[in-house]
Structure formats: structure tokens, C-alpha cells
């Protein structure tokens, strides 16, 4: 029996960050799956942080969490959504992890007194991580995305490791793809290839000749542009592809398929396509993605958070809304609401902020900033019966709002914002109080949630157990649970032993549910998350406008919710 030998695809980026490597990586993975191949993905991030868990969302966007509790780059979310695959910590490798492990091995004496160097010790460990994932997962193809841009000093060891692997693997065992921007100069009406030429020259100086170039552009490119890139970058013209900015990231797999990337990859790696699994063909994907632009119903959803200046901070929330909307043939329009700008006691101000939305989500976050505004949004949604979904801190702020409104505990708070509050309805558990390190010390990863019989949560999931991903430190204070339930806020989901509240819901409300976990991390394009789907169903049920207002019409007729918000604003 022949030994299984995986193939490797290395994807690098040049000139600028955020050029679309992650979407290209995820899209190629989906395309190979559509040919019946098994695929998984790995991200190599050059920064020296062990993981992004201690980074501000303003640095790298949201922190994505896997089932096994790894805090990772948001690109892993794209990979999981496009491939419909649950990844692990092995799919996220940072230079901080590599450096820490090399030092640990040196301290143990593993290197037998040798001088520790980037080559071979750092590069060998990188290759070990890459090959280890491919072999452990048993896939046909491992796609490896290198974060940052070619030329970044901190990424050089990753590129050197890739150069060595291209030398060590068979000629047909690896493929190098380089993603760069084509800049359009409005003054001359030209697309400029020089930045890509320089980027490829830098990559070649490190010993890597790209096999494929994907040029991102906001304007259509003539064939003369790709021919020019082929000539000056030593890449066959059929392997130079331009990728125009799409209306939706979910259109990208179909665009790359039409450009010929799938067939080129199969040919270059000498892979044989097999029948795809049911629902996994590119036609299935294209049909689903095409439906996003064909819907006639609109849902206007507010997202009220502290990081809304950088939309990527709530990337998975946005995508989960798109998935749920698509399942109900509704297009989602998001209104971003900066919670810092809101005063919880200023009802007219909050009414104005929510006047043109049909439902509101308060997502996760850390720190005192923005909490009172989010509590005000939750309280307004409670009083005015606006569909509300609280995610992690959004659940905690919903609990605080309920305590202040229904339990008459005016000073109810979280000890994260007010350590001295006399009514800490959200607090640290005993085993969290003495922690001195921030990184990796939260409740992280997948935990089972026991759903209570006859609750809305159980009805939405259609199950007694939900396995969900967490990333938080503060918890619902169990000392107050009986008082909340007597007043109408029910713990409809708990830990298996009943000690921790995982889901809270308000029984006499059209839809007011908060989850201690992050359901957005489990949503998939063709398989929406139950909580998001229930939220969208409630929004559609509550808003006649969302059901009848066609896409592209001038202005929606005010719904009952909008009229009510206007009355509150008028006093």
C-alpha cells in the first residue's frame, strides 16, 4: 500500500495587509473540497504574541476561539465557515509560540549544548508544526497562509521554512500562491503592476518563486495587465489571475473557479478529483451565495458595542447574521451603534439610536468602557419589547438591566465595572479571583450546556444539550438566580452540574435571550446558528416593514417599533 503523502499550498501576501489572503485561502479550500478532496488549513502569524488573546480588537479584529480553547486570528473563522470544519489549536501557529518552545527546549537541554539559531532550530520547529498537522489530520491537501506581508522582518523565518519545504518535498508536492493588490490611479486611469513586481522580487530573493499570482483589484483588468505581470514575475499567464472586489466574500470561490484556479491547482499538484459530498459542489455554493442578492426582505439590526469603529472586531457576529438572514430569505442591514456615546439613563438618546432598527444585538467585550451604554440598550429593549440577542457581555448587561428594572436594584452591576457594587449580579468566580496573568486564563473553548425543558432555548436548538464555545471571565452570580427567576428571567441553559448560567431568557418578551458563550463562532453559511435564526425570526415577526419593504425602495414605512421609539424620544 502506497504511503499517504499530503500536498502543501503556501499562500503569501505582498505590498499591504488586509489584501484578502484569508478569503483566498478559505475559498481555495472550499474549491478543493468541491472536487472531493480532503483539506484543512493552517495560519502562520509572524507576531511575537503567543496568541491574540491579550491584543486589543483594534489591533487584529476579533479573537476567534476554537473548540479546544485556542485564541486565534479571525482568519480561522473564515476557514471554518467556508470549509464547514472545526479547527484546532494546531491550525494557529505564531512566532511567539515557536520562540517560546525553542527556548523551552533549550532550557531542557534538548539541543545538547548547541548554539540555538534561526536555522535550523526555529525553521525545523515551524516545519514540524506544518507537517504535524498535515499528517495528524490525514488530509490530501494542507493550505498554509502566512500572515503579514513579504518583507516583514518578523516573518522571515516562516518564509525560510517554506523555502526548505519546497526543496524537501517532491516538485508536485507544493504550490506557492502570492496575493497582491493592483492599485488603480484615477488621475491616469491606470492599474499599476509595479508594486506586485517588487513584492515578487522580494519573495524570490528569499528563495520562493510563486507558481500563481492573484491580483486583487477594485477595477477591471485587461489581459495586457496579467500578461505584463506574467512576463516580469516569471509566472505563466494562465497562472496570473485578477480578482475584483466582490459584493460579498461568499462570491469569491465562484470567481476563483471561473478564473481557473481549481483546475490549475489540481494539475500542478497532480491531484485527481473525486465526486464531492452531497451539498459540497461549487454549484451548490454558488446557488447559496447568489441567493444573498436575490432576497426582497430586509432586516435592520443594530449592533451596539464598544469596538464598532473597527467592524472586524465583530466579524463573526456580522457573518452569523448574514447566514440566518439567508436561511430566511432576508437581507441584513446592520446599524453600528457606539455604546460609548450612549448614557444608560438617557432614554430619548437611546430611543433615537434604536429608532430605525428592528432588533438589536449587544456583542462581547472586556473592560469598563461602554458598559453603561450597553446596559441602557438592553433596558430599552426590555421595556419596549424590541428583539434582543446578548452575546457574552451582552448577556451580562441584559442581566444587569433586568436587575435594575425588574428587581429594583438600582446599583446592580458587574464587578468588572464596579468592584465595590453592593449587588454584583455578574461577578468573578472564586477560582478566578487570584489570577495574575491575562492570557489563556478565561473559560475558553467548548463546554456542554444543559437546556431546560420547555424553554425557548430548548425549542430553538431542538435538543437537550448544546455544545458551545466560550471566551469570558465574569459569570452570572448564582446568589441572585432565584430572585431573577421569580421576576421572569429564567436560566434556560446551564452547565451540566447546574452551577453556571449559560443562557438567560426573559419569558414575557417577544425575544430576549442572552448567552454566556459565543454562538456566532459556530454559525456556518449553509447551517445557521439556532440562536441567530430565532432572533431573525422574531425580528421578521415583529416588523411588518422587514416583511414588505423591497430592496432598493426609497424609504421604509415606519413600523410600530419606530413609532414607539419616536414617542419615547418626544417625551
Q: What residues are labeled active site?
A: 392, 518, 520
- State how far the Cα of 83 lies from the Cα of 253, in Å rounded to an integer: 11
Q: Is the dihedral of CA 458, 463, 464, 469 positive or negative?
A: negative
Q: How many residues does the chain have?
A: 571
Cell of 213: 499570482
67: which residues sit within 8 A by CB, 6+ positions away? 86, 88, 445, 446, 467, 469
Cα–Cα distance between 478 and 199 in angstroms, integer?
Answer: 57
Spatial separation of the C-alpha atoms in residues 82 and 250, rounded to whole Å = 8
Work out the angle between the directed axes of helices 194-205 and 223-233 (0-180°, nearest 10): 30
Backbone angles phi and psi of 94, in degrees to 5: -115, 155
What angle do the packed helices 252-259 and 282-291 form, to 10 degrees?
A: 130
Which triple of cell numbers denotes residue 400? 444587569
Whether the Cβ atoms of residue 551 and residue 331 lie closer than 8 Å to each other: yes
The burial class, CB within 10 Å (0-12 / 13-18 / 19+), for 188 is exposed
**CA separation (Å) from 373 to 353, 366, 394, 509, 527?**
11, 14, 11, 21, 32
> What is the C-alpha to C-alpha distance for residues 240 and 231, in angstroms, rounded to an integer?
10
Beta bridge partners of 9: 143, 175
Amino acid at each position: 500500500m502506497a504511503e499517504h503523502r499530503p500536498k502543501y499550498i503556501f499562500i503569501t501576501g505582498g505590498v499591504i495587509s488586509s489584501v484578502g489572503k484569508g478569503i483566498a485561502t478559505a475559498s481555495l479550500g472550499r474549491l478543493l473540497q468541491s472536487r472531493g478532496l480532503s483539506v484543512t488549513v493552517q495560519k502562520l502569524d509572524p507576531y511575537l504574541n503567543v496568541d491574540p488573546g491579550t491584543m486589543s480588537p483594534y489591533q487584529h479584529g476579533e479573537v476567534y476561539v476554537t473548540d479546544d480553547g485556542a485564541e486565534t486570528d479571525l482568519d480561522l473563522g473564515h476557514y471554518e465557515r467556508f470549509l464547514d470544519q472545526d479547527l484546532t489549536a494546531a491550525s494557529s501557529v505564531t512566532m511567539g509560540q515557536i520562540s517560546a518552545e525553542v527556548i523551552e527546549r533549550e532550557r531542557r537541554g534538548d539541543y545538547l549544548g548547541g548554539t540555538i539559531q534561526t536555522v535550523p532550530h526555529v525553521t525545523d520547529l515551524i516545519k514540524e508544526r506544518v507537517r504535524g498537522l498535515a499528517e495528524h489530520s490525514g488530509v490530501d491537501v494542507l493550505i498554509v497562509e502566512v500572515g503579514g506581508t513579504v518583507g516583514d522582518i518578523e516573518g522571515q523565518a516562516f518564509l525560510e521554512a517554506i523555502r526548505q519545504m519546497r526543496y524537501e518535498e517532491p516538485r508536485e508536492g507544493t504550490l506557492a500562491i502570492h496575493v497582491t493588490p493592483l492599485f488603480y490611479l484615477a488621475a491616469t486611469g491606470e492599474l499599476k503592476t509595479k508594486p506586485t513586481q517588487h513584492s515578487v522580487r522580494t519573495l524570490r530573493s528569499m528563495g520562493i518563486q510563486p507558481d500563481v499570482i492573484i491580483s486583487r483589484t477594485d477595477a477591471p483588468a485587461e489581459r495586457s495587465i496579467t500578461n505584463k505581470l506574467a512576463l516580469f514575475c516569471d509566472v505563466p499567464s494562465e497562472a496570473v489571475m485578477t480578482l475584483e472586489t466582490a459584493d460579498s466574500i461568499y462570491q469569491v470561490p465562484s470567481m476563483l473557479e471561473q478564473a481557473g484556479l481549481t483546475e490549475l491547482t489540481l494539475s500542478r499538484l497532480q491531484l485527481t478529483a473525486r465526486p464531492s459530498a452531497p451539498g459540497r459542489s461549487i454549484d451548490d455554493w454558488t446557488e447559496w451565495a447568489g441567493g444573498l442578492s436575490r432576497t426582497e426582505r430586509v432586516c435592520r439590526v443594530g449592533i451596539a458595542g464598544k469596538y464598532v469603529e473597527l467592524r472586524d472586531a465583530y466579524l463573526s457576529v456580522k457573518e452569523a447574521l448574514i447566514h440566518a438572514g439567508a436561511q430566511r430569505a432576508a437581507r441584513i442591514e446592520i446599524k453600528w451603534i457606539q455604546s460609548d456615546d450612549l448614557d444608560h439613563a438617557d432614554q430619548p438618546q437611546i430611543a433615537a439610536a434604536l429608532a430605525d432598527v428592528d432588533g438589536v444585538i449587544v456583542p462581547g467585550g472586556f473592560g469598563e468602557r461602554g458598559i453603561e451604554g450597553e446596559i441602557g440598550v438592553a433596558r430599552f429593549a426590555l421595556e419596549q419589547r424590541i428583539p434582543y440577542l446578548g452575546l457574552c457581555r451582552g448577556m451580562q448587561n441584559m442581566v444587569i438591566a433586568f436587575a435594575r428594572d425588574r428587581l429594583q436594584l438600582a446599583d446592580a452591576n458587574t464587578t468588572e465595572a464596579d468592584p465595590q457594587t453592593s449587588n454584583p449580579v455578574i461577578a468573578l468566580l472564586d477560582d478566578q479571583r487570584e489570577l495574575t496573568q491575562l492570557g489563556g486564563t478565561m473559560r475558553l473553548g467548548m463546554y456542554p450546556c444543559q437546556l431546560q425543558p420547555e424553554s425557548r432555548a430548548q425549542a430553538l436548538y431542538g435538543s437537550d444539550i448544546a455544545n458551545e464555545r466560550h471566551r469570558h471571565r465574569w459569570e452570572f452570580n448564582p446568589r441572585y438566580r432565584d430572585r431573577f427567576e421569580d421576576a421572569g428571567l429564567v436560566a434556560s441553559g446551564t452547565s451540566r452540574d447546574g452551577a453556571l448560567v449559560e443562557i438567560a431568557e426573559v419569558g414575557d418578551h417577544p425575544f430576549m435571550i442572552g448567552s454566556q458563550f459565543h454562538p456566532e463562532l459556530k454559525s456556518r453559511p449553509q447551517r445557521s446558528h439556532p440562536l441567530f435564526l430565532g432572533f431573525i425570526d422574531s425580528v421578521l415577526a415583529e416588523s411588518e416593514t422587514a416583511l414588505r419593504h423591497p430592496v432598493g425602495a426609497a424609504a421604509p414605512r415606519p413600523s410600530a417599533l419606530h413609532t414607539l421609539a419616536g414617542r419615547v424620544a418626544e417625551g
